[in-house]
Structure 1
Amino acid sequence: MALGLFIDPTTLLRIAPVISSTCQLWFGWDQYEFLQLFLKPDIQGHSNKMLPSYFDTFFSRGAPRVVGLLLTTILTSAANIRYAPGQLLHERGSLIWYSSAIAFALGHQIYFPFIYPSIKAVTSDVKEKNVDELKKWLYVHNWRTLTVDLAGWVCCIVAAVKTVS
């Protein structure tokens, strides 16, 4: 209610993809920060034992958040495209940016086949190889975050700025 006093619903729709993609990018960075702690050489023996349980909990709680943020970016970007009056997005040059934001949010899922084997291995407990599988997961995760997630975030910002200004 208080937000409605300061931001009209149309402006909120324009910036909603920025908010959701910012959260997505931040969540991706946090995942890296928290999981790389398991790679410290002095605790890798403990990490190999703890990672299966941790990963199981981590993904059962984290995956719905990631999917929710991606869907929010996709749906609010699509809503901007669908409900923008007349040729507003064409005139402001933001149609391609909202469209690209959708493509990059969908592109996040392209990495799933490359990450899933490591997720499956750790949750199945491959014993002394759990840390190695985490390293593989983090490598792909970082590439995904620095490519499609970062690019999607930039697209959302540019789209909102062009549309709102």
Structure 2
Amino acid sequence: MFKKLIVLSVVAATVMLTGCSSVPVPLESKEIESITKTFPNPPSGKAGLYVYRGSNLIGRANTQLKVVLDGDSIGRTSENTYFYKVISPGQHKLDTQTTIGPSVPLVFNAEAGHNYFVKQDPNVSSYVIYGGTSITMVDEAEGEKGVLECEQAK
């Protein structure tokens, strides 16, 4: 019985670590990417939202993670990608969905004139605890650094 449990655990860990391979997300033009990577102020009366995903053990499987803002899909990320979205001020609910299920949602209040940075972290503990990935609001310095290491997805 104990041997079966060990074998099952190894198989489950392998599946979680390899993920479901998929085609990388389409990328934005380098011209648009060069503008968003200067981190301009959002348009008047609006806020900016950067969602980025670096590289890690799970990310190397190149799985796409669907990003949902206030119930609407706003894009997908894969390893080392980000996207930028202009949003209205006010309370928002951000979620990431994987083949396993949604993450724990991130609820935040956006103020006009500010950029917000959210890091997706698809890691083993997130797969076990959160159903696939964790999403975290990070400060401007960490967010800009993370975005600069990524390519912009459409």
Q: Into which bin does the TM-score normalised by the smaller protein fall? A: under 0.3
Instruction: Flag the structure with larger Rg.
Output: 1
Q: Which has the higher strand share?
A: 2
Higher relative contact order (CA 8 A, sep 6+): 1
State TM-score, norm by structure 1.
0.26
State TM-score, norm by structure 2.
0.27
